[in-house]
């Protein structure tokens, strides 16, 4: 980025950290982002698990263009019948278990979480919500109430009352769930702690405890959804189905959107007593949902998920270096643990200089995140891994 562009960016555009990466983007295509500096970068982050089908996917772009040419916003969500919303709901619910048969559209992951909190209170008549320690659910007041990270939260209290925390993947901690609990909200696989994968025993016990106490089980698959972990949704790795599924990020194929998916009897609570229980002007925006339809069809038609075991194995084969302490992974979601925050920082910087974009985890600075577009080819995996391993070697 030339000096004046960076300066305008820093002065006129709201910032989220004192030292933004500041890559000036010219265009993006497939697994690559092209900088205005003429450099080409492997995108190993997918905009934090958004671009699962890569950049500039022709089918998604065409769907966006065609829908924009027909109509964009016509009325707040829920009033008009718009064909993209119907198409997406039809395709998605056919791919899901029977109880996940209705889709409530919102604009983002955080909004899906907010909606789920309201839905759980309204449906059960209870107010206590249980979340897992080290989870991430978003940055609005409600969603951030579900996080126990003191550093990120201390400046913004008070949050929503009635929230309790349990340990993820700890069966003992499930005794906190009682007939006073409206819902348990958890990521199916925890992401920002540096990937933590619960056992089948924990998931089954969690489902049972929720059933026994009349508590809704809500899975946040905002990061893990749409193929990221090697299944369409991560809960398919377990013999457990949630009452409510929260989706966003990759859902829109690069366009902003999100949704709650549940049985229609649950979602109906927003329609009466009081009516307008959860409304939003832009929820289910037709252009975003046209992109979501194209994206889901592409994911299924290209049988991308079927190729993921092989790609995951290839990453593991080529990501080998004695300085790597552990790789936690599911599908194309990897936490490469170097057990040293400063080392991680140097490796990320060197990889960036050499054309690979990687990232940190929100709650874990000992590991770096790899979540490439799922369309990455085997040759691209080998090439990207070489640059990453070289970056580890020069910084060890």
Ligand X SMILES: Cc1ncc(COP(=O)(O)O)c(C=O)c1O
Q: Does 47 bind ligand X (CB under 6 A)?
A: no
Letters for 112-131 (x = contact with ligand X by CB under 6 A, - = none) are: -x------------------
Which tokens hold the place of 385? 């891994």
- Of the residues 42, 104, 105, 136, which one makes contact with ligand X according to CB under 6 A: 136
β-partners of residue 283 are: none
| CB 156, min distance to ligand X, A | 15
Closest among 109, 71, 105 to 86, alpha carbons compared: 105
| Closest distance to ligand X from the beta carbon of 114 (Å) | 9
Q: Say if residue 191 is exposed, middle or buried (CB neighbours under 10 Å; 0-12, 13-18, 19+).
A: buried
- Put residue 254 in one of left, alpha, beta given phi > 0 → left and psi -120 to 50 → alpha: left
Residues from 334 through 393 that contact ligand X (CB under 6 A)? none
* Span from 4-12, 135-143, 168-176, 375-383 in contact with ligand X (CB under 6 A): 135-143
Q: Determine the size of the site formed for ligand X (CB under 6 A).
A: 14
Site string for ligand X, 63-82 (x = CB under 6 A): --------------------
Helix (H) or strand (E) holding 91: helix 83-94
Residue 285, both tokens: 């925006």
Q: What are phi and psi of 104, to 5 degrees?
A: -110, 115
Smallest gap, in angstroms, from Cβ of residue 274 to ligand X? 25
Nearer to ligand X, 248 or 262 (CB): 248
Q: What is the DSSP string of 313-335?
A: HHHHHH---TT--EEEEETTEEE
- Cα(291)–Cα(283) distance, rounded to whole angstroms? 14
253 touches 295 (CB < 8 A): yes
* Closest CB to ligand X among residues 166, 222: 222
The answer to whether the beta carbons of residues 54 and 289 sit under 8 Å apart is: no
Binder of ligand X out of 30, 115, 191, 254 (CB under 6 A): 191
Residue closer to ligand X (CB basis): 113 or 119: 113
Measured CA to CA in angstroms, residue 267 lies from 194, 278, 283 at distances of 32, 10, 15
Residues in the chain, how many?
396
Q: Measured from the CB atom, is 48 or 61 closer to ligand X?
A: 48
Say whether residue 248 binds ligand X (CB under 6 A): yes
- Rounded Cα gap, residues 396 and 392, in angstroms: 6
| Contact pick of 84, 109, 142, 227 for ligand X (by CB under 6 A) | 109
Contact range with ligand X by CB under 6 A, out of 35-43, 105-113, 161-169, 234-242: 105-113
Residue with tokens 């809500």: 218
Which position's Cβ is nearest ligand X? Answer: 109
Residue 132 Cβ, how far from ligand X at the closest point, in Å? 11
What string marks each residue from 208 to 247 as x (binds ligand X by CB under 6 A) or -?
Answer: ------------x-xx------------------------
What is the closest distance, in whole angstroms, from the C-beta atom of residue 256 to ligand X in the complex? Answer: 8
The dihedral of CA 329, 60, 138, 149: what is its sign?
positive
Based on CB atoms, which residue is closest to ligand X, 48 or 300?
Answer: 48
Hey, which bits of 152-285 come out as E strands?
A: 163-166, 181-187, 189-190, 196-197, 216-220, 244-247, 258-262
Give the one residue of 82, 108, 229, 288 binding ligand X; rule: CB under 6 A: 108
- Asked if 137 is part of the footprint of ligand X (rule: CB under 6 A), the reply reads yes
Say whether residue 254 binds ligand X (CB under 6 A). Answer: no
For ligand X, which is the closer residue by CB, 374 or 387? 374
Pick the binder of ligand X from 114, 128, 187, 243 (CB under 6 A): 187
In this structure, how many other beta carbons lie within 10 angstroms of the beta carbon of residue 291?
A: 28
Which is nearer to ligand X, 109 or 115 (by Cβ)?
Answer: 109
Q: Which residues bind ligand X (CB under 6 A)?
A: 48, 108-110, 113, 136-138, 187, 191, 220, 222-223, 248
């Amino acid at each position: 980025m030339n000096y004046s562009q960076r300066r305008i960016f820093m002065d006129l555009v709201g910032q989220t950290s004192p030292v933004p990466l500041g890559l000036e983007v010219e265009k993006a295509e497939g697994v690559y982002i092209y900088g205005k500096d003429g450099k080409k970068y492997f995108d190993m982050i997918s905009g934090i698990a958004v671009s699962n089908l890569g950049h500039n996917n022709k089918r998604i772009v065409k769907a966006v263009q065609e829908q924009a040419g027909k109509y964009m916003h016509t009325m707040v969500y829920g009033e008009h019948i718009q064909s993209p919303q119907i198409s997406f709901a039809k395709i998605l619910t056919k791919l899901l278990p029977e109880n996940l048969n209705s889709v409530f559209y919102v604009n983002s992951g955080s909004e899906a979480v907010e909606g789920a909190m309201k839905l759980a209170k309204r449906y059960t008549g209870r107010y206590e919500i249980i979340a897992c320690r080290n989870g991430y659910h978003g940055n609005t007041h409600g969603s951030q109430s579900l996080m126990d990270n003191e550093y990120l939260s201390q400046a913004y209290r008070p949050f929503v009352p009635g929230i309790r925390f349990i340990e993820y993947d700890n069966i003992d901690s499930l005794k906190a769930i009682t007939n006073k609990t409206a819902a348990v909200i958890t990521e199916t696989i925890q992401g920002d702690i540096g990937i933590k994968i619960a056992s089948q025993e924990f998931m089954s016990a969690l489902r049972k405890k929720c059933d026994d106490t009349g508590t809704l089980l809500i899975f946040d698959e905002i990061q893990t959804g749409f193929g990221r972990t090697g299944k369409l949704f991560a809960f398919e790795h377990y013999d457990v189905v949630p009452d409510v599924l929260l989706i966003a990020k990759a859902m829109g194929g690069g366009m902003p959107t999100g949704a709650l998916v549940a049985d229609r009897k649950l979602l109906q609570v927003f329609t009466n007593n009081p009516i307008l229980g959860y409304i939003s002007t832009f929820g289910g925006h037709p252009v975003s949902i046209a992109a979501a339809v194209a994206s889901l069809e592409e994911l299924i038609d290209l049988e991308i998920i079927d190729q993921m075991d092989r790609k995951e194995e290839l990453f593991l084969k080529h990501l080998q270096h004695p300085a790597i302490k552990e790789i936690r992974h599911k599908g194309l979601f990897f936490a490469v643990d170097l057990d040293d925050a400063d080392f991680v920082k140097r490796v990320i910087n060197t990889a960036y200089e050499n054309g690979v974009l990687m990232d940190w985890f929100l709650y874990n600075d000992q590991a770096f995140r790899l979540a490439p577009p799922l369309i990455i080819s085997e040759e691209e995996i080998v090439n990207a891994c070489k640059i990453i391993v070289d970056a580890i070697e020069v910084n060890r």
